Amino acid sequence: MLTIEQYTAPYKEKVVAHILAIQRDEFAIAITRADQPDLDAIETFYRQGAGNFWLALDAGAVVGTVALVDIGNGQAALRKMFVRPAYRGNPPKAADRLLAALFEWSRAKGLREIYLGTTDKFLAAHRFYAKTGFAEISQAELPAAFPVMKVDSKFYKYLL
């Protein structure tokens, strides 16, 4: 039974393993845990202002993640959206459910805009973001406070 829950510390190592497996094994991105210090500081990095971090869990296994970073001015950055391949489609729609939790939280916190950056390698993610209402934008259209990652090459915006 798939559940969506806010991150808690006992899941830290499972979250790190989940994200690194998708980044490195599925998409062959040369990235390490050390390249992502936010993974070792989820509570303090993501849970500031309107930020948060969610998990999709199946019998205690982490099968999906998504995070939100408050960048001020009613804006936030979507980060760490990673879902295991078997959980991406119908059913169980883990990505849809994670994003729904993020949108509900964002509206409750008074956010107006959500931005995201991704690599050009995540083709299915591009289709998913477009299908869920994100509009592709140029890097020049990002707010100054948006945390661009070195692997980011495509950018999107969502109006709440």
Q: What is the CATH number of the domain that holds 28?
A: 3.40.630.30
What are 137's strand-pairing partners? 155
Q: Domain tally for the chain? A: 1
Q: Which domain holds residue 146?
A: 2-159
What pLDDT, on a 0 to 100 scale, did the predictor assign at position 13? 97
Residue in the structure block whose two tokens are 């393993």: 17
Mean pLDDT of the chain: 95
In degrees to the nearest 10, what's the CA dihedral of 11, 12, 14, 15? 110
pLDDT tens for each residue of 44-61: 999 999 999 999 999 999
- Joined tokens for residue 23: 């980044």
3-state secondary structure 59-92: CCEEEEEEEEEEEECCEEEEEEEEECHHHCCCCC
